[in-house]
Amino acid sequence: MKFEVSMILVAAAFAGFSAVGAAPAPESSSVELASETATPTTTTVVETHKTHKTKSHKPHKTKSHKPHKTKSHRPHKTKSHKPHKTKSHKPRKTKTPTPAPSVAVAAGILEANNTPNNQPNQTTIETSLRLPKGLNRKSVLHGQGHQIYTCTRANNRYQWVLTNVEAKLKSVVGKKPRHVADHKFVSGLPTFIHNDARTPQDVSRISGKVNATVTTFSGLNNLPWALLKVTNNTFAKPTDYFANTRYVIRAFTDRGLPNPRKKCEKASHVGNVYPSFYRAEYWFYV
């Protein structure tokens, strides 16, 4: 800046020096020149500051946050619980065995349940089985159990043979049936053994053999009615249950025969045992 001012002053002086040796100039020029020299013009040089190029800050490209794709939660498919199919329990068809006929001992009247009205009376039964005269029926017991059959081969044939009996005999006199005796085979003979908890000292028993049978009243699907003659009688005193018993009648039988579907036809069947359920009434005579 100072350099530029000095140069201007030098130039002005040089111009004055030249004017002294030169021809006189018009007045106007001299006046103008004098005024010029008299009042030196001061030129102020103002430095123009270059404006800093400010980097125009571009706005940050803010990533436009796309809204999160929120998975639209589908409602859970809740399994619609079908109501349980409750099986309607049909009442079981229980094969109720035909009730064994009961006897009203006190009245001396036979009451055969589920039997035809033309069922024989006591006298007819005794006559049919040829019960000896002069005997008295002392007691009646209801038996229930099994007739035991074994497949055997005899006379070149295979057949079911009765080899045992397992039955309980009860008295129906009173409010409640009472176990009185057991029925089984002893030494191959049908035997009745007293077994009443009320009189444990009574150990009387009887056994015998079948004298007669009839199928007139029993039909083909039930045990025949039978008359058994007592051959062995064991008792301690006359008041024992089976004391002096001489005959036994089996009547009003229900089932007890071998099942025809149970095979007894060849050697491999021999020895097979089949228990056949049965019920019957037993009358004891003295």
**In this structure, are 122 and 213 located in the same domain?**
yes
By mean pLDDT, which of 32-36, 139-143, 232-236 is the weakest?
32-36
Cross-strand bridge partners of residue 234: 205
**In this structure, are 19 and 106 located in the same domain?**
no
By mean pLDDT, which of 63-77, 247-261, 267-281 is the weakest?
63-77
Q: What is the pLDDT of residue 220?
A: 84
Which residues neighbour 73 within 8 Å (Cβ) at sequence distance 6 or greater? none
Beta strands 137-154; 109-111: pairing state: unpaired
**In this structure, are 215 and 135 located in the same domain?**
yes
Q: How many domains does the chain have?
A: 2
Is the model's pLDDT at 34 over the cut of 50?
no
**In this structure, are 19 and 146 located in the same domain?**
no
E-assigned strand segments in 31-101: none
- Dihedral in degrees, nearest 10, Cα atoms 195, 198, 202, 203: 20
74 within a domain of the structure (yes/no): no
**In this structure, are 120 and 33 located in the same domain?**
no
Q: In whole angstroms, what is the distance from residue 145 CA to residue 167 CA?
A: 4
**In this structure, are 24 and 124 located in the same domain?**
no
**In this structure, are 22 and 147 located in the same domain?**
no
Element (H, E) at 225: strand 225-234
281 within a domain of the structure (yes/no): yes
65 within a domain of the structure (yes/no): no
Query: What average pLDDT does range 128-147 have in this prediction?
Result: 97
**In this structure, are 266 and 165 located in the same domain?**
yes
Q: In whole angstroms, what is the distance from residue 249 CA to residue 131 CA?
A: 9
Q: In whole angstroms, what is the distance from residue 115 CA to residue 251 CA?
A: 12
**In this structure, are 117 and 216 located in the same domain?**
yes
**In this structure, are 143 and 263 located in the same domain?**
yes
270 within a domain of the structure (yes/no): yes
236 within a domain of the structure (yes/no): yes
Q: What is the pLDDT of residue 175?
A: 82
**In this structure, are 25 and 156 located in the same domain?**
no
60 within a domain of the structure (yes/no): no
Q: What is the pLDDT of residue 169?
A: 98
Element (H, E) at 37: helix 27-38
25: domain range?
Answer: 2-38
121 within a domain of the structure (yes/no): yes
